[in-house]
Amino acid sequence: MEQATQTTAPAPTAQEPQPPTFEDAHAVIPLVVLPLEQKPFAVETGEDWPSGWRVHLKFRETRGAGLLEFAALVDVPVTRADTAFGTHLDAITRIRGIEVRASALVSPWEADRLLGTRTPEPTPTVQAEDQAAAHPVPLSTSTLAELPAIMSVLTPNTTPGAEDEGRCVRCGCTDNAACEGGCYWVSNLQLVDLCSACATAEELATMSIIPAEVPDGEQLPAAADTPEPAPIPRLASPLMHRIAVTPALPAEDGQA
């Protein structure tokens, strides 16, 4: 006689816990914010994979007492970190699988007031460096005292032609040695030194130096044939190196 077999159902397996969701993180916020007298100015909710969702409460410096209320509510210590930008106060806990953090950036003296502590004193090494910088080293004990003194003596330059002085390109007159009867500098497009005694009427009219080279068989007009304006005495003031003056040409016959 055959014996009937009975199949047994598999035992139910425990379901794996589901990670917290955004709704879970959002539900934690009223639990830690509503009981506080000093509320945070911002509450941020974000997911930090793979750690999960987290809630960040940010307190202003004037409401740093709210961070102490949060730390007392969840029974966690307040950590302090002094930086160049201020003092960071933090308190971190985990509620229903959600990391909840409260932070505030305050001044060192405000942190002392909130925590009832004093600002950490600088290390002796830093103090020694500050004192060394505040008290200068006497010159007699400095290595600079062993260096020989260097004296700079300026001697006048007596080399002929080395001085930077304007000189006419034709007659060689200068500011201190003008032509006989007086002359003045004539402005020109070539920006060369030319005095009024050497400039021709055409050069005065065109404000341009005409080269002295001419074709063979031709001669330059005599200086006496070229009408020249009355010479103007050259100024010898040391404050005025040179004044370029372009005199007006005499009117031709029949013209006003």
Note the pLDDT tens digit of each residue in 32-76. Answer: 999 999 999 999 999 887 778 999 999 999 999 999 999 999 999
Would you place residue 121 in the very low, low, confident or very high pLDDT band (cuts 50, 70, 90)?
A: low
pLDDT greater at residue 177 or residue 226: 177
- For 20-35, give one letter per residue: b (16+ CB within 10 A) or e: beeebbeebeeebbee
179 close to 199: Cβ distance less than 8 angstroms: no
For 199-206, the CB contacts below 8 A with 24+ separation are 200/226, 201/226, 201/227, 201/228, 201/249, 204/229, 204/246, 204/247, 204/249, 205/249
Point out the least confidently predicted range of 8-22, 134-148, 150-164, 207-221: 150-164
CA angle 74, 78, 80 (to 5 degrees): 160
| Identity of the residue numbered 125 | T
Domain boundaries, the chain: 22-115, 166-248
| pTM, entire model | 0.42
Would you place residue 214 in the very low, low, confident or very high pLDDT band (cuts 50, 70, 90)?
A: very low
Is 147 a residue whose pLDDT tops 90? no
Token pair 């007298």 in the structure block, residue: 37
Token pair 């005025």 in the structure block, residue: 240
Taking residue 199's Cβ as centre, other Cβ atoms within 10 Å add up to 26
The CATH fold assigned to 22-115 is Beta Polymerase; domain 2 (3.30.460)
Name the strand (E) or helix (H) holding 42. strand 42-48
